[in-house]
A and B are shown apart, each in its own frame.
Chain A
Amino acid sequence: MCEVIVVTSGKGGVGKTTTAANLGVGFAKLNKKVLMIDTDIGLRNLDVVMGLENRIVYNLVDLIEGNCRANAAIIKDKKYSNLFLLPSAQTRDKTSVTPDQMKKLVDDLRPDYDYIILDCPAGIETGFKNAIAGADRALVVTNPELSAIRDADRIIGLLEADSMGKIDLIVNKIRMDMVKKGDMMSVEDVVEVLSVNLIGAVPDDENIVIATNNGAPLAGSDTLSGRAYMNICHRIMGEEVPFLDLSESNGLFGKIGKLFKKN
Chain B
Amino acid sequence: MGIFDVFKKKSSAGVAKDRLKLLLVSDRSDCSPETMENLKNDIIKVIAKYMEIDTKNLDIQITQTESDNGKGYVPALVASIPIKEMKHGK
- Between B12, B14, B16, B28, the greatest number of chain A beta carbons within 10 A of the residue's beta carbon is seen for B16
Chain A, 187-222, CB within 8 A of any chain B CB = 189, 193, 195
| Residue on B nearest A157 in the bound complex, by CB | B28
> Is B1 at the interface (CB under 8 A from chain A)?
no
Whether A150 contacts B17 by the Cβ 8 Å rule is no
| Residue on B nearest A181 in the bound complex, by CB | B11
> Is B31 at the interface (CB under 8 A from chain A)?
no
B13 neighbours in A (Cβ, 8 Å): 178-179, 182-186, 189
Whether A189 contacts B27 by the Cβ 8 Å rule is no
| Residue on A nearest B21 in the bound complex, by CB | A193
Chain B, 42-85, CB within 8 A of any chain A CB = 72
Chain B, 16-49, CB within 8 A of any chain A CB = 16-17, 19-21, 23-24, 27-28
A193 neighbours in B (Cβ, 8 Å): 17, 20-21, 24
B14 neighbours in A (Cβ, 8 Å): 182
B16 neighbours in A (Cβ, 8 Å): 145-146, 185
Least Cβ–Cβ distance between A159 and chain B, in angstroms: 14
A186 neighbours in B (Cβ, 8 Å): 13
> Is A227 at the interface (CB under 8 A from chain B)?
no
Whether B12 contacts A150 by the Cβ 8 Å rule is no
Alpha-carbon distance A149/B17, docked complex (angstroms): 10
A184 neighbours in B (Cβ, 8 Å): 13
Whether A150 contacts B27 by the Cβ 8 Å rule is yes
- Between B14, B23, B24, the greatest number of chain A beta carbons within 10 A of the residue's beta carbon is seen for B24
Whether B27 contacts A154 by the Cβ 8 Å rule is yes
Whether B11 contacts A182 by the Cβ 8 Å rule is yes
Alpha-carbon distance A186/B11, docked complex (angstroms): 12
Least Cβ–Cβ distance between A171 and chain B, in angstroms: 13
| Residue on B nearest A178 in the bound complex, by CB | B13
B11 neighbours in A (Cβ, 8 Å): 181-183
B23 neighbours in A (Cβ, 8 Å): 146, 150
Whether B12 contacts A153 by the Cβ 8 Å rule is no
Least Cβ–Cβ distance between A193 and chain B, in angstroms: 6
Least Cβ–Cβ distance between A143 and chain B, in angstroms: 12
Alpha-carbon distance A183/B14, docked complex (angstroms): 8
Alpha-carbon distance A184/B11, docked complex (angstroms): 9
| Residue on A nearest B14 in the bound complex, by CB | A182
Whether A185 contacts B17 by the Cβ 8 Å rule is yes
Least Cβ–Cβ distance between A248 and chain B, in angstroms: 20
Least Cβ–Cβ distance between A158 and chain B, in angstroms: 12
For A189, give its contact among B17, B19, B28, B72 (CB under 8 Å): B17
Least Cβ–Cβ distance between B11 and chain A, in angstroms: 3
A183 neighbours in B (Cβ, 8 Å): 11-13
11 pairs from A and B in contact (CB 8 Å cutoff):
A145-B16, A146-B20, A146-B23, A150-B23, A150-B27, A157-B28, A182-B12, A182-B14, A185-B17, A189-B13, A193-B24
Interface residues, chain B, CB within 8 Å of chain A?
11-14, 16-17, 19-21, 23-24, 27-28, 72
Interface residues, chain A, CB within 8 Å of chain B?
145-146, 149-150, 153-154, 157, 178-179, 181-186, 189, 193, 195
